[in-house]
A = this chain, B = another copy of it.
Amino acid sequence: MSEAAAVQAQRLQDFVQALFVHAGLSAQAANDVARALIWADLRGIDTHGVSRVAFYLNFMQKGVIKVQPQRRVLHETPAVQVFDADASAGAVAMFHAAEQAALKARALGLGLVMVRGTTHTGALGCYTQALARQGMVGIALAASIPLMAYHGAKAAGVSTAPLSIAVPGAADEPLILDMASGAMSMGQLRAAKQSGTPLPAGLALSEQGEPTTDPQQASIVLPMAGPKGSGLALMFELLCSLVVGNPIIADFLSDKPGGRKHRQNAWLLAIDISRFGDVAHYQQELARTVAALAGLPASVPGEPVRMPGDRGLQCQAERLRDGIPLPAALCKELAACARPEGLALPW
């Protein structure tokens, strides 16, 4: 797709925030959502960036994402909070969860927040990073509707369950693992469909559940590492959804009324490193570990041995400098979102 614009990150964020305010979100909530989307765009996770704006606005219009949700604490102990997000925008619920988890971790060394009934959480690294910037370990999981084959089955049974782990890194830049349990992401599948590039074997099934390398036939993503990927995804459902009494997979697959409605449950854990040692020392030891790995002989001569998040950081530096590239179709889509509100376009 041709690139129609490269927009300075803050300008794009302000624009997107204004769109969400027009849709009915509070300024703070709109800021949360815009910030999470721009974070993903900066890191090169374009599938979780402003390409989601139209989808979110549509969900807000339909009430799938509530613009004025009533958040409610269901259970609370000094170490755990479970809250019902009442179909908040995902980023609003997750930034709140990160705040609550950090408060608990600051007091007890450990805090877990379980988020019930939220919506598309977006790139989880955004929230674990917020914890890592406070000297904490952040671990986030989410459970969602089935899009990925369950190992041994010819049909979607589990979500491409995302997992992020972030820790305070060297030079105060958190080290962030941000992954999903699929052999490929839905975004990669869409990209292959657009470009027509054949898929490597073992990544996807057709709608009928047959293995395929034809991107146009491919419909269901396979789990990474077979039973490990789908096993992890199942466990995330059992941790995130069943502990808070909001099953997704069982309701979806049994065609229960409302069972296919968009919803997510999530899990955010914080560990305050300073309770168990010195954070500066932790960062030095991390730098030593990273240096040892980066110093190993490379598989491809001349290619660096990369740490989780390295490509994202490089992309962020480039996009902060050059702006966030927006394909023509996305510019058109965002312009259409802005037109009814009479908002000026940021490009």
Contacts and interface: CB of A to CB of B under 8 A. Distances in A.
Interface string A101-119: 0000000111110100000
A152 interface: yes
Contact of A289 (B249, B281, B282): B249
Interface in A70-84: 74-75, 77-80, 82
Nearest to A210: B299
Helix, strand, loop or mixed for chain A's interface? mixed
Contact of A109 (B75, B109, B304): B75
Interface string A249-278: 110011000000000000000010101110
B227 A225 contact: no
Nearest to A253: B292
A82 B234 contact: no
A275 B108 CA distance: 18
Contacts of A27: none
Interface stretch (A10-18, A175-183, A337-345): A175-183
Contacts of A247: 285, 288-289
A289 B112 contact: no
Contacts of A111: 79
Contact of A253 (B228, B296, B306): B296
Interface stretch (A53-61, A89-97, A153-161): A153-161
A43 to B, nearest CB: 15
Contacts of A326: none
B286 A177 contact: no
B249 A77 contact: no
A23 to B, nearest CB: 33
Interface string A38-52: 000000000000000
A198 interface: no
A8 to B, nearest CB: 30
A130 interface: no
A300 interface: yes
Contacts of A177: 231-232, 234-235
A276 B306 contact: no
A195 B110 CA distance: 47
6 contacts: A152-B306, A157-B292, A177-B232, A179-B231, A234-B307, A254-B292
Given A108-B108, A114-B276, 8 more contacts: A80-B110, A157-B293, A177-B234, A179-B228, A224-B224, A224-B225, A231-B308, A245-B285
